[in-house]
Amino acid sequence: MEIYAQTLKTIAQKFGTPTYVYDLDRIKKQYRLFQEAFPWPKLGIFYAMKANYNHSVLTTLKNLGAGIDAVSPGDLHMAISWGFEKSRIIYTANNMKDTEMDEVVGTGVLLNIDSLSRLEKYAKKYPNTRICLRFNPDVVDGEHDKIKTGGDLTKFGILLEDVGKVKAITNKYGLKVVGLHEHTGSGLIKPDSILNAMEQIMSIATRENFPDLAFLDFGGGFKVAYGPDEVPVNYKKMGSQVVELFSKFTSTYGRQLELRFEPGKYLIAQAGQLLVEVNTIKHNRNRTICGTDSGFPQLIRPMFYDAYHAIENISNPAGENFIYDICGNICETGDLFAKDRSLPEIRENDILSIQDAGAYCYAMGGIYNLRPMPAEVVVENKKIFLSRKRLTSQQLIDLIRRESIDINRPTILKNTKTG
C-alpha cells in the first residue's frame, strides 16, 4: 500500500494532474477470477468497451482472450483497429439508423437487434443472414434507476411475449438466429437477478423457436463493491449456480452452446483511479470545501448516479480526520466528488486519489468548460507508462478551431459538402 501510494505520487509528479491511473495487473486478476467463477467449457467474455476504451486496457483484455461488446460505430472501428477479431465482436446498438446498420453489416460483425422494427428492416435488406436478438428479460435490477435495463420502464430489447412476431419475421426472411441476448442492468444488487433473467431467456430459447443457436449472452452487470458498507458478491457461488442452470438448459436444447457475458465494471472498475490535486481549501460556515483541479465532466458518476467513490489523501494518509466536501472546478454546484466525507487532513497541493474509477469514468468524460480530459497512465508489473497524453488547452482550442467553419466566409462554405 505504501509502495503503491509512492507510485501514485511519482505519477502525479511526472505527469501532473488530473491523471487517470489503470492497474493492468488488477485487470488480469479480475479476468482470471471471472473465468474461474464461471467454469463452463465454452465461456465467452465479451468486454463491454463502453466502460473504458483506453487502448492499454483493450489490448490487455484482448491478450487475455476477451471479445468485445460494441455499441457504436466508434466502438466497433476502434476495437477492430486494436486487433480484435471480428468474429469475437458483438454489436448491440440501441435505436440505430439504417446507415449504422449497413456500416456494421459491412464489417461482417454480428448484429444484436433489439426491436421488432429494426428486425423487420434488417430482414428485408439482409435476408438469409445470421443475427443475434436482444430480449427484455423482464427482471428489474441495477444499482441506480438510470442503469436498470429490464422491465417496463426500459427502452431495451424485444418483449418476451413477442417471440411469435419475431419468428414470423425470421422465418419469412430465412434469418438464422445464432444468439439470444439480454442485459438486466449495471451493478445487479439482487443475488438471483442473473438466474431469473437466464430462466426468462431460456424459456424462449427452444429448438422449435430458434434451432440455430450457438450462444446465449447474458450481458454484464456484475457488481463490484464501491462503498465501505457494500458486501462483495460471492461470484464463485453465483457462477456455479449459473453453470448448473446453463448445463441443464443445454442438455434440453441438445447442443453445447457458448455461455457469453459482457462484463464492464467487474473487469476494470477497481483497477482505475483518478489523481487530482487540491488547490483551494475554503471554510464556508459549517462546511469545509476542498477544491480540486478536476470536475464532473472528467468523472461524472457521483453527479450522474449519486455514486460513491472512495477517496484517499495520498499526501497525508496519517493525518487527523476532518469532514470535507470534495469539489471540482466546474461551474455547477453539483460538481462534487464526495459530500461530508471524513478524510485525513487535506492541505492545499495535496494529491487525492479517487478510487474505483476504471469504469464509466474517463469513458463518460467530456470537455465541458473547455477543460481537456486527464492524461491516462498505466502500471504493469510495477512499471509506469503514459498511455494517453492530456491535451493542452491550446491543443484543444486548435482542434476545435480546425473543425469550425467560419460563417462569414462563404468561399469556405462552398467547398464543404453542405455548401
Ligand X SMILES: Cc1ncc(COP(=O)(O)O)c(C=O)c1O
Applying CB under 6 A, what is the total number of residues that bind ligand X? 18
* 3-state secondary structure at position 244: helix
Alpha helices, DSSP H, located in 162-219: 163-173, 193-204
Q: What is the separation, in whole angstroms, between the first and last Cα of the chain?
A: 59
Contact 306, 238 (CB under 8 A): no
- Residues 66-105 as x/- pattern, contact with ligand X by CB under 6 A: ---x----------------------x-------------
Q: Which of 26, 265, 301, 390 binds ligand X (CB under 6 A)?
A: 265
**At its nearest, how many Å lie between ligand X and the CB of residue 189?**
12
Locate 73 and state its grid cell. 460505430
**At its nearest, how many Å lie between ligand X and the CB of residue 154?**
10
Question: DSSP per residue over 77-136, as a string?
Answer: HHHHHTT--GGGEEEE-SS--HHHHHHHHHHTPEEEE--HHHHHHHHHHSTT-EEEEEEE
**At its nearest, how many Å lie between ligand X and the CB of residue 31?**
13
Residues numbered 44 to 73 that lie near ligand X (CB under 6 A) are 48, 51, 69
User: Is 356 a binder of ligand X (CB under 6 A)?
Assistant: no
Q: Which of 44, 137, 150, 264 binds ligand X (CB under 6 A)?
A: 264
**At its nearest, how many Å lie between ligand X and the CB of residue 47?**
9
> Helix (H) and strand (E) counts for the chain?
13, 18
**At its nearest, how many Å lie between ligand X and the CB of residue 160?**
17
| Rounded alpha-carbon distances, angstroms, from residue 221 to 84, 264, 329 | 22, 7, 31
User: Is 114 a binder of ligand X (CB under 6 A)?
Assistant: no
User: Is 141 a binder of ligand X (CB under 6 A)?
Assistant: no
Q: Which of 186, 193, 298, 353 binds ligand X (CB under 6 A)?
A: 186
Q: Is 331 a catalytic residue?
A: yes
Residues numbered 198 to 217 that lie near ligand X (CB under 6 A) are none
Pairing state between β 287-292 and 130-136: unpaired
Contact 125, 108 (CB under 8 A): no
Q: Which of 23, 75, 262, 356 binds ligand X (CB under 6 A)?
A: 262
User: Is 150 a binder of ligand X (CB under 6 A)?
Assistant: no
Catalytic residue among 132, 290, 331, 361: 331
Pairing state between β 287-292 and 336-344: unpaired
* 3-state secondary structure at position 68: strand
Q: Which stretch binds ligand X (CB under 6 A): 60-68, 183-191, 287-295, 312-320?
A: 183-191
- Residues 219-238 as x/- pattern, contact with ligand X by CB under 6 A: xxxx----------------
Q: Which stretch binds ligand X (CB under 6 A): 21-29, 262-270, 330-338, 345-353?
A: 262-270
| Rounded alpha-carbon distances, angstroms, from residue 263 to 76, 130, 193, 219, 224 | 17, 24, 15, 7, 11
- The smaller minimum CB distance to ligand X, of residues 75 and 376, is found at 75
Site of grid cell 438466474: 195
Site of grid cell 449497413: 102
**At its nearest, how many Å lie between ligand X and the CB of residue 191?**
16
Q: Which residues bind ligand X (CB under 6 A)?
A: 48, 51, 69, 92, 147, 183, 186-187, 219-222, 262-266, 359
Active-site positions read: 331
